[in-house]
Structure 1
Amino acid sequence: MPVLVAAAGETWEAPALRALAEASVVVLKRCVDLTDLLASASAGTVGVVLVSGELAGLDADAVMQLLRVDVRCVAVGGDAEVLGRLGVVEVHPADDPAGLPEVVRRAVRQDLVLDPDPEPESRLEVRADRGRTVVVHGPAGAPGRTLLATGLAAEHARRGAPTVLVDADPHGGAVAQHLGVLDEVSGLLAAARLVNAGGLDARSFARCRREVVPGLEVLTGLPRPDRWVEARPGVLDAVLERAGEVGDVVVDTGFSLEDDADLGRGLVRNQLTLDAVAAADHVVAVGTAEPVGLARLARTLVDLRDLAPVPVTVVVNRMRDSLGWSRRDILGMVEGYVRPAGVVFVPDDRAAADRALVAGRSVVEAGASPLAAAVAELHDVVLGDVGDPVRRSSAGRGRWRCRRP
């Protein structure tokens, strides 16, 4: 199998080329930079690229582009720990160019796979100090996802549990506005850049978060909808992993679960939402109580049933007597599509919602109200008593990696 080389002028290049030639490994091209390397690899004629560990621009996104075209990336020199986080299959010492032919053969033998979703039964117990991930999702039509996500997170923090609220809405999140956070810097994009550079650790992740009340930290979302492309696939997985080290995690997502790739770039706008649902330990599905809202909720429940083999709690928002049907009627409709972990009815308490929004606070902080009481009930169903044993799902959409035969 031919290889590409992008040595960036490193001293190991000449002896490496001689060693490869002596071992009958064909070097198809010596690339001048990362752009040249990615363009050449996209032709599908190579299975391995040899790059300098210090190659300018080499990041997780570049490695992912190579993996998508079935090309393994081997680095020569550089920080093995950082390069490993980027997805490089092997890091070889720069002072041993003679060993590169065997490294190339070993890389070629690795099967590139996208790990399939494990069955729900494979959910594993992990240590009790690791946070749960609760994803709040709902269809189009402003059913109240963000209002309930911020309220749920604030209620959990109020009860003494460290909580991280993540705004992962790819169509332009509103968590910051709901909670009166005026910073224009996006915590999510700051974390995304760190993930892409292989540098998201506990200390750097702390700089991305903003504490809004004691015990509740927020990772603010996209400042503009058009910046969704900066959060590449896999970013949210790394973010949620770090967030789970801090405490329990509540994620506010977008409205769409469509997996519709942009054919030109292979990107999915809704990837943040899909990745959030895949990483969830519990999903909160939010819909409104009127006919259009219930119809949209029903379609969402069908989609979630296929995507998320985890407990789903249904929230019927803006419930009011003027609609002419009872809670039992709606409960029967919901149970026709899914067996929920619970169904919570939230009253149409517009005064409390307006009071919270105008003050830039969660409904929990805005004072006692029927809406705040419903959020507390939702918390009891989803997160239970603070200090309960934690379960984390190993189910997910999978990540690219190489596996040895």
Structure 2
Amino acid sequence: MSTTGGAPVLGDRVPVLVAAAGEEWEAPALHALGEAGVVVLKRCVDLTDLLASAASGTVGVVVVSGELPGLDADAVLQLLRADVRCLAVGGDAEALGRLGVVHVHPVDDPAGLPGAVRRAVHQDLVVDPDPEPASRLEVRADRGRTIVVHGPAGAPGRTLLATGLAAEHARRGAPTVLVDADPHGGAVAQHLGVLDEVSGLLAAARLVNAGGLDARAFARCRREVAPGLDVLTGLPRPDRWVEARPGVLDAVLDRATEVGDVVVDTGFSLEDDSELGRGLVRNQLTLDAVAAADHVVAVGSAEPVGLARLARTLVDLRDLAPGPVTVVVNRMRDSLGWSRRDVVGMVEGYVRPAGVVFVPDDRVAADRALVAGRSVVEVGGSPLATAVAELHDLVLAGAEVRRSSGGRGRWRCRRP
């Protein structure tokens, strides 16, 4: 027996389990699989039988009815932990995809099922971390702070500022962990030129689910990208969000704050979308990050649409963020026709911020950093790097912002 991308294969044949729940497509599907050389190890009577059989380590793919009783995210996750891909026949493709099912095949195409099974075998799953720690950051006696960078849709610059803020903090000698917790597909690895195929977040998620995320295991999940700066890379594809189950980020941040201050890059939405099906919340990573934040950096772009989206985000953060909020107005430029004081007045209409930082529209520096696969503070001096340093001074350097009895902080207008 060998493996293909983690899934067992027998020579050129793929071992599968079938749980059809008595569907009419089962007989023609079994015939098509047999004719194509796909080995059906067992026809399972129900989900319990399927999960028990899949744990044997000899299965590559399970073919299930999309209406199989009991099929939920926990069941699919159990299969994923055994490196077994789940392929459904029929059912709601969108809902099944959210559960982690790798493919939904139409019930009226049994002849095409063998090809779908073979493609499913090559679907990448979580790659386990290296056996030895890749990080040199050690556990400290005092816990670090958690800084969460959040902002609405429309490319406000969350990742660029999160990577810059983390790199600036590490450059000043503070151990720092940068966590990519964007449930819609992270970009931190691309920003920093991390080409490793391991997803640190998903590797950590597997360890959390197995009860094995200790300090040493967490060190294996991280990658050192600069002296004092570790990165926990994010989801390689948007559809992998179901593998980061509720509670994963809490455990990750608990470990991360043991080794340094933590900067978290999040997704664009704070919507609780549990009503979409089976209790799953795609934005749970973002919601959990904001709830755990010691300080939130809310990023929005300076044009009219960007400011409108930022205003809605500030309303949400006012209710969800337990700590102070610093607002970053990105890509600020004189051609927009309004002053910084106008923008600060708008911001104060929604939240009393700990500070307001204006970041210039420095596309040359941003492009240079992205092409080099480095943070903006590592590619030389620029107005953008200066603004990131000022943001760091406000959020991470010195004493914490004092808050009044009403829970509101004082704002300061920063000019690049």
Q: TM-score range by the shorter chain?
A: 0.5 to 0.7
Q: Distance in 2 between matches of 1:304 and 1:376?
A: 24
Which residue of 310, 313, 323 corresponds with 1:300?
313
Structure 2 length as normaliser, TM-score? 0.63
Aligned to 2:257, the other structure's residue is in SS state helix
Alignment RMSD, CA only? 2.8
The equivalent of 1:208 in structure 2 is 221
1:199 to 201, 212, 218: 212
Deviation at 1:59, TM superposition (A): 12
Name which of 170, 185, 192 aligns with 2:183. Answer: 170
Structure 1 residues 218, 336: closer, same or farther in 2, change over 3 A?
same
Residue by residue over 1:23-57, the C-alpha shift from the partner in whole angstroms, topping out at 9 and shown as x without a partner, is: xxxxxxxx977969xxxx98xxxxxxxxxxxxxx6
* 1:223 maps onto 2:221 in alignment: no
Provide the residue aligned with 1:327 in structure 2.
340
What SS does structure 2 have at the residue aligned with 1:373?
helix
Tell me the TM-score normalized by structure 1. 0.65
Task: Give the Cα–Cα distance (whole angstroms) in 2 for the partners of residues 262 and 295 of structure 1.
Answer: 26
What does 1:338-357 align with in structure 2 at a 5 Å threshold? 338-357=351-370
Partners in 1 of 2:276 and 2:331 — Cα distance? 39
In structure 2, the partner of 1:77 is none
Instruction: Provide the C-alpha distance between the structure 2 equivalents of 1:319 and 1:144, rounded to a whole number of angstroms.
Output: 12
Which of 124, 134, 139 matches 2:152? 139
Aligned partners of 1:34 and 1:338: how far apart in 2?
52
Residue 258 of structure 2 aligns to a residue whose secondary structure is helix
Match of 2:324 among 308, 311, 314: 311
Cα distance between partner residues in 2 of 1:151 and 1:191 = 24
Q: State the match for 1:73 in structure 2.
A: none
Cα deviations by residue, 1:180-215 (Å, 9 ceiling, x for unpaired): 001121000000000000000000000000000000
Query: Which residue number in structure 2 is paired with residue 336 of structure 1?
Result: 349
The residue type paired with residue 214 of structure 1 is: P
Identity of matched residues, %: 89
**Counterparts of 1:285 and 1:194 in 2: how far apart (Å)?**
31
Give the conservation status (yes or no) of the 8 Å contact 2:293–2:322: no
Cα distance between partner residues in 1 of 2:49 and 2:293: 39
Alpha-carbon offset, residue 175 of structure 1: 0.2
**Pairing 1:182–2:188 present:** no
Q: Distance in 2 between matches of 1:329 and 1:342?
A: 15
Q: What amino acid does structure 2 have at the position aligned with 1:384?
A: A
Match of 2:393 among 380, 384, 388: 380
Tell me if the contact between 2:354 and 2:401 (Cα under 8 Å) persists in the aligned partners. Answer: no
Which 4+ residue blocks in structure 1 deviate beyond 4 angstroms? 31-36, 57-60, 388-391
What code does the residue aligned with 1:307 have?
L
Instruction: Assess if the C-alpha contact under 8 Å between 1:128 and 1:389 holds in 2.
Output: no
User: Structure 1 residue 309: deviation in Å?
Assistant: 2.3
CA drift of 1:266 comes to: 1.1
- Separation in 1 of the partners of 2:393 and 2:325? 14
Q: Structure 1 stretches of 5 or more lacking a match?
A: 1-30, 43-56, 61-126, 392-405
1:265 Cα shift?
2.1
d(CA) in 2 for partners of 1:307, 1:33: 42
Cα pair 1:148 1:375 within 8 Å, conserved: yes
2:298 corresponds to which of 271, 280, 285: 285
1:267 aligns with 2:293: no
Q: Report the Cα distance in structure 1 between the residues aligned to 2:182 and 2:236, rounded to whole angstroms.
A: 11
Deviation at 1:384, TM superposition (A): 1.4
- Counterpart for residue 163 of structure 2: 150
Contact 1:59 1:197 in 2 (8 A): no
